[in-house]
Structure 1
Amino acid sequence: MEITTKRIYDDPDNDGARVLVDRLWPRGVSKEEAQLDAWIKEVAPSDELRTWYDHDPDRWTEFKERYVSELKEKDDAVGRVLDVAKDDQLTLLYAATDRERNNAVVLREYLESQID
């Protein structure tokens, strides 16, 4: 299975299964525009972690560690993300402007470690 990440504001294009992995619905995007297969907000970072991180690059390393710890406690939600894709391509969608440091990047790495 190929797992990619993409901003929800980018046009859908050969994305396979599209799963929004943010806790909050992204501003300015309609459900029709999003073309989602699923919105699994339970797999997103906790409100406490998300607020603490606040997309501060200096907190990235600790955010990753804390988020992975949370993911280990969310087996059902993580499994639901993988079930949406089956053996197909999976695109994890997020709203953050930073394409390299966001929850979808961490989740992709975590999922890849679970399926290898």
Structure 2
Amino acid sequence: MDVQILMKGFGEFEKVNPELAKQVQPIFITIDPERDTPEVVGEFAAAFSPRLLGLSGSPEAIAAASKAFAAYSAKGTEGAGGYLMDHSRIAYLMDRRGKPVVMLPIDKDYKAVAAELVKWVR
């Protein structure tokens, strides 16, 4: 749901600010590289938007990214259908130098995400 809200908010921002939106690159980074191969992550990202870039990598690279972005994740218990991942819900807006600007309100709705993008992307 979070990625859906994020990308719907980005889509609204893009409709109103197409030139500014060209300067924004939405990125999804997996927290489960065991299952999320580059192909799987690419399909997942494409299901939300052709603009969303999906990233995977080695467990070490994902752990380093999680640490850098203060993200939490843990593998849940194994069930009949596999396992789920427990994780934090964070979407950052980063500036052109890679510094965090604001956490986007994916816990609200897409309109709140679009409003934050309008506020911060210049």
Q: Which has the larger radius of gyration?
A: 2
Q: Could you tell me the TM-score, scaled by structure 1's length?
A: 0.29
Q: Could you tell me the TM-score, scaled by structure 2's length?
A: 0.28
